[in-house]
Amino acid sequence: MKKYIRVVGAVITKDNMILCAQRSESMSLPLLWEFPGGKIESNEQPEDALKRELKEEMNCTILVNDKVVTTVHEYEFATIELTTYYSNIISGDIYLAEHKQIKWLPANELFSLEWAPADIPAVKKVMEDA
């Protein structure tokens, strides 16, 4: 059976812009765009996993707000259950420990980027909510 992996992603907003992060060449799904976050560890609440991942990946402390959406996507390598949350940075200057680059975009420009396939429903929901 394919691995089933629970992942959380942060839709970080500031001044009506949304933080988009590009995966690096060395990560899985290289160079695709995503919402920063990562895998939920066992016995970890999704919101706590998201706060931990943002600290590790971008050295930021975030406030996790409402859920955007949960979707399940079948990749070749695994089944990914992705849950996204609206979030705000409450402290820390963004430092990219893993990603190639970030962009802040208004919702109506999100589809100018090539997103990881699992993110498409979340991107659409964010555009609807804007």
Ligand X SMILES: Nc1nc2c([nH]c(=O)n2[C@H]2C[C@H](O)[C@@H](COP(=O)(O)OP(=O)(O)OP(=O)(O)O)O2)c(=O)[nH]1
The binding site for ligand X (CB under 6 A) comprises: 7, 9, 27-29, 34-35, 37-39, 80, 82, 116, 118-119
- Nearest CA to 14 among 92, 70, 81, 72? 92
CB of 31 to ligand X, least distance (A): 12
Q: Which is nearer to ligand X, 120 or 130 (CB)?
A: 120
Locate 119 and state its tokens. Answer: 């993110």
Which residue number, 2 or 39, has a Cβ lying nearer to ligand X? 39
C-alpha 35/C-alpha 41 separation (Å) is 18
**Beta carbon of residue 6, minimum distance to ligand X (angstroms, whole number):** 9
Question: Smallest distance from the beta carbon of 57 to ligand X, in angstroms?
Answer: 7
Q: How far is the CB of 60 from ligand X (least distance, A)?
A: 14
Q: What is the DSSP string of 28-91?
A: SSTT-EE-SEEEPPTT--HHHHHHHHHHHHH--EEEEEEEEEEEEEE-SS-EEEEEEEEEEEEE
DSSP 8-state code for residue 24: P
- Which one, 64 or 82, has the nearer CB to ligand X? 82
Nearer to ligand X, 93 or 117 (CB): 117
